[in-house]
Amino acid sequence: MLLTDPAFIRRLESLYLLARKVLGGTLRADRKSTRKGAGISFADYSEYSIGDDHRAIDWRVYARLDSLMIKLFELEEDIIMYFLLDSSKSMDSKFLYARQLVAALAYIALHSMDKVVIYGMAEELIVVTKPTLGRGKTLGVLQNLEVAKPFGVGTDFATAARQLCRWHKKKGMVIAVSDFFFPGGFEDGLKFLQWNNHDLFCIQVQDSEDRKCRLKGDVELQCIESGELRQLTITNSEARAYEQAVIDWNDRLSEFCATQGIGLVSTTTDVPFDRIIQSILRRGGLVS
């Protein structure tokens, strides 16, 4: 399905309507700033000082206490969403699904007046969508995602994380969509993003072929990313060892995210993408 098909966009609109219903039209349930100012929700009073907005004076309090007090409100801040879309060759069979997930979250963010930036990620970052704001830009973002292609020869998540922080100094929400099969591991990249004060959410996308070894006997395997060839003899015990190694790797990701307070959803491509987005929204959005 094309990401600009009317039928696909209708599915995205349904997800946005759900976001409005359960989260007030956002991807975060906790968007109120600790800063005080002219906002929406009343937070506190403060004594009036020269230079304060006189329109915030509560005259009823003045009538009772003979003291000038101004109302303070919690600010609801716009969020910048940084999407890291794994575009390495290992994502070939999962790339459309991953782009559908990014498209859905970006659609909700743009309709919620949050800024969106999307990068393809392999051994470096490439721009899919420059910083974009406003629902009128939605079609352009979907078109950019539609023509995005896998690239590179491997995935260096730590380098990609450093590159993102070098390009963008403003704190935001980083959403990484990947199978998380990074040769150098995922811990350093996630820690670096947290050290730079970004909130994190991970969406792990795998397929059945990632988790099962169906090969037996003498085979020649080629690494989908590096192109390296190896001659192997695969026995039943080795097939089981591969499957256990994948389970252990996924458990390691889950445990690390739980320990670090990082949101995580793991899925396979046979689960409809909108069911995953619905699950994220109903549990409170992009939170750990």
Widest distance between CA atoms in the chain: 90
Residue type at position 278: Q
Residue 82 three-state SS:
strand
Q: What is the pLDDT along the chain (288 residues), one digit of tens a residue?
A: 689 999 999 999 999 999 998 887 778 655 444 444 444 555 556 676 665 666 667 777 767 777 777 666 544 556 899 999 999 988 999 999 999 999 999 999 999 889 999 999 999 999 999 999 998 999 999 999 999 999 987 789 999 999 999 999 999 999 999 999 998 999 999 999 999 999 999 999 999 888 887 777 667 665 566 666 777 777 778 878 888 989 999 999 999 999 999 999 999 999 999 999 999 999 999 987
**CATH class of this structure's domain 6-28+79-206+263-282:** alpha beta
Q: What is the pTM of this model?
A: 0.81
Residue 154 three-state SS:
coil
Are the beta carbons of 19 and 25 closer than 8 angstroms?
yes
- Alpha-carbon span 177 to 102, nearest angstrom: 8
DSSP string for residues in 3-70: TT-HHHHHHHHHHHHHHHHHHSSSSBS--EEEEEES-SEEEEEEE--TTS-GGGB-HHHHHHHS--EE
What is the model's pLDDT at position 69? 74
What is the model's pLDDT at position 32? 45
Angle at 200 between CA 271 and CA 288, to 5 degrees: 70
- Alpha-carbon span 197 to 201, nearest angstrom: 13
Residue 167 three-state SS:
helix
CATH 3.40.50.410 residue ranges of the chain are: 6-28+79-206+263-282
What is the model's pLDDT at position 64? 75
Question: Which residues are 32's β-sheet partners?
Answer: 76
Residue among 243, 205, 211, 256 nearest 86 (CA):
205
What is the model's pLDDT at position 209? 81
